Structure 1
Amino acid sequence: MQRLAVYCGSSLGASEAYKTGAIQLGKELAKRNITLVYGGSSIGLMGAVANTVLSEGGHAIGVIPRLLAEREISHKGLTELITVETMHERKAKMMELADGFVVLPGGTGTLEEFFEVFTWGQIGLHQKPCGLLNINHYYEPLISLFNHMIDQRFLQEKFRAMAIIEDEPAALLDKFLNYEAPPIKSFE
């Protein structure tokens, strides 16, 4: 695994644990020589993970829409900053560049990015691992929703297993190394 896309909040959130988790992930990425691919911002959890990767000697590629770059929130010290026109282009470029996807705490945009790559995996557009870094139990409500989806037969168990969930970055990345994608979704 050479490059991981990380989706996360442009704010730091209500708990210091979120920033601490982003820093731990950044250190783990740099230690494993995995390039960070992320939204290109200098603020929030996005900035925390990028700053850590860079300060630890790693590489960080940002992909940012022109609208956000013009608001002066783009990170100026990245290994590479790719400016695209739209949010759709950003997501497509990040998906193309990444060998897997890690989701830290974040808001609706973060969840939207996660669900898109998760869905793309279900239908066979990629066979890359998707993981939730469950910092401070942030994703417990989503885990409950996944279980409810399975109970109500809107999500097959094999696809629920596509979402690798761990509390610690090292454990999450270790599971990524052994990831095997399930067969693509059938509509029978």
Structure 2
Amino acid sequence: MPKYTASILAGTIAFSAFTSLALAANPMVGGAPMFADKNIVENAVNSKDHTTLVAAVKAAGLVETLQGKGPFTVFAPTNAAFDALPKGTVETLLEPENKDLLTRILTCHVVAAEAFSKDITKMIDDDEGEHPIKTVGGCTWTAKHDGGKVKIEDENGNVATVTIADVDQSNGVIHVIDKVLLPKM
């Protein structure tokens, strides 16, 4: 093999390996790759596990906000988390007359800072086991960790577990959670 061809082949293999590592840095979510150079909305729309969340974000008029500069930390409930709410809840929340309540619920899943799991765990440890999280929607959640998993407790005592952590975004980070957190009503 000519030296020039071998160099091109080696460079192509190295580039492929680098590209694979770059893509592997973010976990897959809902069967879709998540790209650190895309914003929260651009990535979320590709996750088959977050179609309800995406529909809710659209109904609440929050698309532009979550495409903004940030930084944001989003605790993103899965479709299964929304399905676990009482029958008819999601449909009712998506009605135009309930936009304010839907917006409050969704913005209570957003923090106006970028916090990866190592940062959250450190805050929890520094606060001796529990750390208050103030959300954009005016809720105060409590972060804890148990068995290596970050858990978020809402104002009603419901606890969501972070099932996929540290999904890096161009404007923040997403942590996938298994429950919808609700503000005190």
TM-score, normalised relative to structure 1: 0.29
Q: Larger % of strand: which?
A: 2
TM-score, normalised relative to structure 2: 0.30
